[in-house]
Structure 1
């Protein structure tokens, strides 16, 4: 558990700002699932915050930057961090391409071909998660599983339908 083992060092809510924009019902569903999975199980602690969580995270976009506005459940501001999305562009693009290959393979490929594509898909997801961990280093402490769930959310924010 991040943040000195405090069980309250977690996200209790994630909100997408209007700057994210709305999409097709399928993509909105994927976003909702990603948020649910993130809230359900996570470890999240802004570096230097002695009070602890639980925290609310509001995500917004501004000029290819992802803004993490972290508040307490009371609404009090904890910190805001701005991350460039540029380091994620290639990984997200490659991840989408391999996901499309995976879904196509499910319909017609052999189990070993599907497994090989899925291993590549998981590898790219892990690479994106590690990139996110690196970008958050010194700002927000998260464990790898939380980074994976956050990366999933970043991916579905890029889907336009």
Structure 2
């Protein structure tokens, strides 16, 4: 019998058919109409962020049946809308998340990323490392804030929150 992956608390992760964890995302879609048009570069970054998120994630809808889940993200009235369905595409939940608390974090993250890319061209390795540490620190802060904002709706582990924060940043990137 194969070993089961353990959850963060050391207990076995819930598994579904074929031993695959059920509290996870199996698909992430974007409502392009609500997000606006994007350049090829931005489209590429969106695909990469979704791919990374799908490769490994822990995503559990609070108070609902087990997944796996399909997530569609859209924007409406300044809110990031999460539309969650089950594997069979039956609706599970839909909710909006105000972007106001995250907006400043995303903006600061982009500024530090820009500084990092500029530093790569001219700065010393120690300066690049310092900027990169700041970038990672902001990414961690954004991930923690996202976990707090999702509390009571969706439970995600820290690594999933980091990947989801990356996707949110990419959705706000203007190129």
> Same fold by TM (over 0.5)?
yes
- 1:57 and 2:65 equivalent? no
TM-superposition CA deviations, 1:107-138 (whole Å, max 9, x none): 11000000000000000000100000000011
- 1:136 and 2:150 equivalent? yes
Q: Structure 2: any 5+ residue segments left out of the alignment?
A: 1-6, 15-20
TM-superposition CA deviations, 1:63-116 (whole Å, max 9, x none): 210000000121100111210000011111110000000000011100000000
- Aligned twin of 1:111: 125
- Structure scoring higher RCO (CA < 8 A, sep ≥ 6) equals 1
Contact 1:22 1:28 in 2 (8 A): no
Q: Larger Cα Rg: Structure 1 or Structure 2?
A: 2
- Aligned twin of 1:5: 13
**CA shift for structure 1 position 35:** 0.2
- 1:43 and 2:74 equivalent? no
Contact 1:42 1:145 in 2 (8 A): yes
> TM-score, normalization: structure 2?
0.88
> TM-score, normalization: structure 1?
0.96
Within 5 A, what are the aligned runs for 1:117-128?
117-128=131-142
